[in-house]
Amino acid sequence: MHAIHHTDQTLLNHPTQAVWDAIISELNGKTTWWHPHNTHQPGPTPPHQSGGTTTTTIHTGGVGKPGPKLRFTSTTTQITPNAQLTQSHTGHFHGTTTYTLTPLHNNTQTRLTITFATTPHRLAKFLHRLTNLTAKHTTATQNALANLHRHLKTAHQN
């Protein structure tokens, strides 16, 4: 059983291809809609390929600000383009993250579901005992999803 098992969802007024591209771009470190809390650095095999990796850094105080940094490396274990991406991760967190995209209304909208099932290790385990990491994760993810809405709206206008 994972210490943190949480699902966040949002409805985006964009087709699944646009949402998929935004997720892949973020995991490849090409966009920053997950700021100010998370940054992503792809490995030698990109995350949109089976076995591809991304190292995520959680900046607990925000990017460029004081505070502990938590890192984990995610490896893509399951991929169905425009539908689902599952990554297993190790480092400060051991578990999985799954992004599920569901097209709605003739693919004019997409429901994005992000499930984070993990167990904190080392510094993350200590912080989890002191604070409610689940609540902090949810707040950071909801902020990222709001940024994703803005990112897609801006990209669609260009």
Domain regions of the chain by residue span: 4-157
User: What's the CATH architecture for 4-157?
Assistant: 2-Layer Sandwich (3.30)
Asked if 131 contacts 139 with a C-beta cutoff of 8 angstroms, the reply is: no
Neighbours of 18 (CB within 10 A): 17
Which residues, other chains included, contact 43 with Cβ-Cβ below 8 Å and sequence gap of 6+? 52, 53, 54, 55, 73
Q: Digits of tens for pLDDT over the chain (158 positions)?
A: 567 788 999 999 999 999 999 999 999 999 888 888 889 999 999 999 999 999 999 888 878 888 888 899 999 999 999 999 999 999 989 999 999 999 999 999 999 999 999 888 887 777 667 676 667 777 878 888 898 989 898 876 65
Predicted TM-score (pTM) above 0.75: yes
Task: Please tell me the predicted confidence (pLDDT) of residue 137.
Answer: 72
